[in-house]
Structure 1
Amino acid sequence: MNHWLMKTEPATFGIDDLARARNHTTAWDGVRNFQARNYMREMRLGDLAFFYHSSCDVPGIAGIVSITREAYPDHTAFDSEDPHFDEKSSPANPRWFMVDVKLVTKFDRVIALEELRRYGQDKLKNMVILKRGNRLSITPVSRAEWNFINSLL
């Protein structure tokens, strides 16, 4: 099993929105970065991901989701009315993909980015989210990082 971190802006779609979704499941669409897309194509059924809130008052990890459907073409890229439309993508030759995620647990508290940074020189020194200039919406998380972050709860 692989572990991931998936960033979203709670003003657009947060963990509470996922909790209200039918079966607590949704498609993770709209990714328009090639590296993040490639990470999604590596995701397998049952992989777990931290659900991370960004661009908000307290950025941080709000819960855990599981991958319930592996990468498939992101239909929003084909819809000229959708904000994620990409004229270079087509059903016959898709450039962008999405996965389905299901809420596993919403944490009682957000594990804030500042809390993660406190461990940045030690336990989480290689964690991608803590690297300067990282803006990827999907990043891998090592087993050691996964276990340590879960121990903070």
Structure 2
Amino acid sequence: MAHWLMKSEPNKFSWDQLVARGAAGEEWDGVRNYLARNNMRAMALGDPVFFYHSNIGLEVVGIAEVCALSHPDSTTDDPRWDCVDIRALRPLPRPVSLKEIKATPELAQMSLVTSMRLSVQPVTDAEWQLVCRMGGL
């Protein structure tokens, strides 16, 4: 099982909006970066995902899971672009800020630190466990 981080601007689509979608989840559409697309193509059903509020908040706020495998993005007719669906599992008891992550030496190589602009990123097992602990899980 792989772990991931997906970024969303909370003023466009927030954690609360994902929670409101319930078990059906939401299509993670609009990604127009080849590496991010390839990361979604590599996802498996049930893979856990950190939900990260970008631009506003700059923090990991919850845990979601992949609930539909890579499929054509419904927001474009261009066959190059795929997406997955995710659904909310649980909020972090305490959001983990980018500032905290950057201040943690064990997370210095985390994609969130090294590839800040990438919207869909892999997370190592060790990074996953540490961020979960930082968030109160």
The residue correspondences of 1:1-153 to structure 2 (distance < 5 A) are 1-23=1-23, 25-56=25-56, 58-78=57-77, 89=78, 94-119=79-104, 122-131=105-114, 134-152=116-134, 153=136
DSSP 3-state at the match of 1:135: coil
Cα distance in 2 for residues equivalent to 1:95 and 1:39? 14
1:108 shift after superposition: 3.0
TM-superposed CA distance for 1:106, in Å, is 1.3
Q: Deviations over 1:33-86 (max 9, x none)?
A: 111000000000110110000011x211010010011100002112xxxxxxxx
CA distance in 2, matches of 1:8, 1:68: 18
Q: Deviations over 1:103-128 (max 9, x none)?
A: 01112332111111110xx2112101
- Cα distance, 1:7 vs structure 2: 0.3
TM-fit CA distance, 1:4: 0.4
Corresponding letter in the other structure for 1:9: E
CA positional deviation for 1:19: 1.1
The TM-score normalised by the length of structure 1 is 0.84
Q: Give the aligned CA root-mean-square deviation in angstroms.
A: 1.2
Q: Is the 8 A contact 2:4 2:123 kept in 1?
A: yes
Displacement of 1:21 in angstroms is: 1.4
After the TM superposition, which parts of structure 1 deviate over 4 Å for at least 4 consecutive aligned residues?
A: none
How many Å apart are 1:24 and its aligned residue? 5.8
Q: Within 1, Cα distance between the matches of 2:26 and 2:88?
A: 9
Looking at structure 1, the residues matched to 22 and 2 of structure 2 have their Cα atoms a distance apart, in angstroms, of: 25
Asked whether the 8 Å contact 1:24–1:103 carries over to 2, the reply is no
Q: Which has the larger radius of gyration?
A: 1
TM-score, normalization by structure 2? 0.94
Unaligned runs of 5+ in 1: 79-88
SS of equivalent to 2:12: helix
